[in-house]
Amino acid sequence: MNILVLCAGNDARSILLESILNDLSPQRMTAYSAGPAPAESVPPAVLSLLEAQDQATADLEPKSWDAFTGVDAVPVDMVISLCDLSAYKAPKWPAGTPRGVWLTPDPVTEEAPLDQVYEILLRRAKAFLKHSFEIMDEGEANAALKRIGKL
């Protein structure tokens, strides 16, 4: 199962959740992250936090969500947005792709401390992994994603 995690700059929140999901469940799913306006790089503090949690950081980099569209793109089974992307024209994801919005404070703009954002995302990731999304229909998956986003 391929999970795409979105946030505008793809430099902190979405990078954190990508890393957390891949660390917690490497055989069950692969998480990717992207955004409509990717930053130049991942902030060193984000990489340091992940390294302190013994999570791999070598392949983490901001990417455009355009990398996940088109015939050669990795197929996306689920999309989770961590910020308000209403100002951007989102790509068309395949019909039936479950989508969730988990609004999360931005550590880059200091809406919340980085370690607090990590803990929020870790809690949500653990709740996410308790569900069998692979066998849910779109409506069930969307409802579960909505509940998790409120944690």
Q: What is the CATH number of the domain that holds 76?
A: 3.40.50.2300
Is the confidence at residue 60, as pLDDT, over 90?
yes
Q: For residue 134, what are the CA distances in angstroms to 6, 17, 61, 63, 130?
A: 20, 19, 27, 26, 12
Residue 101, strand partner residues: 81
How many domains does the chain contain in total? 1
Q: Cα separation of 130 and 58, whole Å?
A: 27
What pTM, to 2 d.p., does this model score? 0.95
CA-nearest of 84, 104, 119, 117 to 149 is: 104
- Residue-level pLDDT at 32: 98
Residue whose pair of structure tokens reads 């999304």 in the numeric block: 133
Domain assignment of residue 46, given as a range: 2-149
pLDDT, tens digit, for every residue of 7-39?
999 999 999 999 999 999 988 999 999 999 999
Is the confidence at residue 70, as pLDDT, over 90?
no
pLDDT, tens digit, for every residue of 106-148?
998 888 999 999 999 999 999 999 999 999 999 999 999 999 9
